[in-house]
A and B are shown apart, each in its own frame.
Chain A
Amino acid sequence: MINPQLLVFLIGAIILLSIIVVSLVISYGASLKRLKKLQENEDALYKKTIEEEKNIVEQAQTDYQGIIKAADEKAKEILNQSAQINQTSEKELNDAVAGLAEKEKNEINARSQILLKQYEEQIAQINDNSINILKNISEDIKTSVISHFDELKKLMSEQTFESKKAAEEKIKVEYDELEKELQNYKQKQLQEVDQKIYQIIFNVSKAAIGKGLSMDQHQELILDALERAKNEGGL
């Protein structure tokens, strides 16, 4: 069984919700209407604006063309006036320029003459100076060369003397060494000769003694050797 209180509560709630839904639907419909109206107003305003812009542009073009036309006319007028002024001015200017040019030319000629004269004078002076300098340089070179030549001569003489001295010393050293070697060689050769002489004498003595001994003398020498060995405690 459903609780009656709950049932009442539910029914009330449903009714309340229905009312709310209906209110919302009504409100939504009203809103849609207002929105549509606003949209229509906006469209109308847009069209009006476009139209106005078009008009303004057309008006502006018209004004612009008028201004341009007026400006052209004004410009033509000014140009005409200017041409007239130019023609006058040009003539005056040409005259003035011609006068100035003539004056300037004369001044330049005069100045050129002065400068040319000064230049020639300076050139002449420079030439004189140069000749003097060259003369002096030539003298300096001559003096310097003579001086250096003397120094060179002296130096060469000294070096020649030193070289000669060094060569003499070297020759002396080598000569001494050679003499020493020769002396050694001579000494060695003499020693070899002495040794050969000694060997010859020795061999001759040996042969002479050996052949000269009789058996008795041999026997005597052997017995003498035995006696000496015995005396030395060797037997």
Chain B
Amino acid sequence: MEKKINDFLTILKTENDKKEALFLLDDLLENLFKTDGSLSVFIKKSSQSPVAKSVISLLPDGWENPQDKDDLEKMIIKIKNTVQNLKTVNITVAVNPNETMLQSLNDWASKNFESKIIFDVTVNPEIIGGAIIVSGGTYHDFSLIKRLKDVMEAGKNEIIASLKTN
């Protein structure tokens, strides 16, 4: 079961993934004990999203008619609490990250930290490249726009003088 949970968490890369997962888990808990087929409808409806697929993958075999739904409920609540407590790092980047980039970030986080980290990604093309990172009340601007400004400010007079002489 622990392995299933770890695999599930691996799927969650961004704050949006986290929110979607929490929403699905709440919905699952709400429909878990209904006998009117609502749970089946939920499963079919949510099966399109990778996060939803991973949520469904958490369910044990024969979940459609579980003998002991109480154990299942306990497990879902435990997963939900784990997701809620995941550490979030705010990161601003210049381009909209694709799946490869998100996976790369996730891999880097898994490699460098024991606990799971979720990235709350904001896109701002003005920063050109690099990233602005806010976590735990600290601010780090490693954007290219800042580096460009620093470089140009340092060599501003020389640049202008060079242009004038040429």
Q: Which residues in A have some Cβ–Cβ distance to B below 8 Å?
A: 194, 197-198, 201-202, 205-206, 209-210, 213, 215, 217-219, 221-230, 232-235
Contacts and interface: CB of A to CB of B under 8 A. Distances in A.
B105 A226 contact: yes
A230 to B, nearest CB: 6
Contact of B133 (A198, A219, A226): A226
Interface string B118-161: 00000001001111110110111011110011001000100110
Given A215-B98, A222-B101, A234-B138, 15 more contacts: A197-B160, A197-B163, A201-B163, A206-B128, A213-B94, A217-B129, A218-B129, A222-B105, A222-B130, A224-B130, A226-B105, A226-B108, A229-B142, A234-B140, A235-B135
Interface of B: 89, 91, 93-95, 98, 100-101, 104-105, 108, 112-113, 117, 125, 128-133, 135-136, 138-140, 142-145, 148-149, 152, 156, 159-160, 163
Nearest to B151: A205
B160 A198 contact: yes
B150 to A, nearest CB: 12
Nearest to B141: A225
B140 A232 contact: yes
A217 B138 CA distance: 25
Given A217-B129, A225-B140, A210 B104 contact: no
Contacts of A213: 94, 128-129
Main secondary structure of the interface of B (DSSP, over half): mixed
A163 B130 CA distance: 72
B89 to A, nearest CB: 6
Nearest to A209: B128
B91 A222 contact: yes
A206 B163 contact: no
A225 B128 contact: no
Contacts of A230: 112
Contacts of A197: 160, 163
B159 A224 contact: no
A234 B148 contact: no
Contact of A194 (B104, B131, B135, B160): B160
A217 B107 CA distance: 17
B129 A209 contact: yes
A228 B147 CA distance: 14
A218 B104 contact: no
B90 to A, nearest CB: 11
A205 to B, nearest CB: 6
A224 B163 CA distance: 33
Contacts of A234: 133, 135-136, 138-140
Nearest to B95: A218
A221 B131 contact: yes
Q: Which 6 residue pairs across A and B have the least CB separation, nearest first? A: A225-B142, A225-B131, A234-B138, A229-B140, A221-B130, A229-B133
Contact of A223 (B105, B138, B143): B105
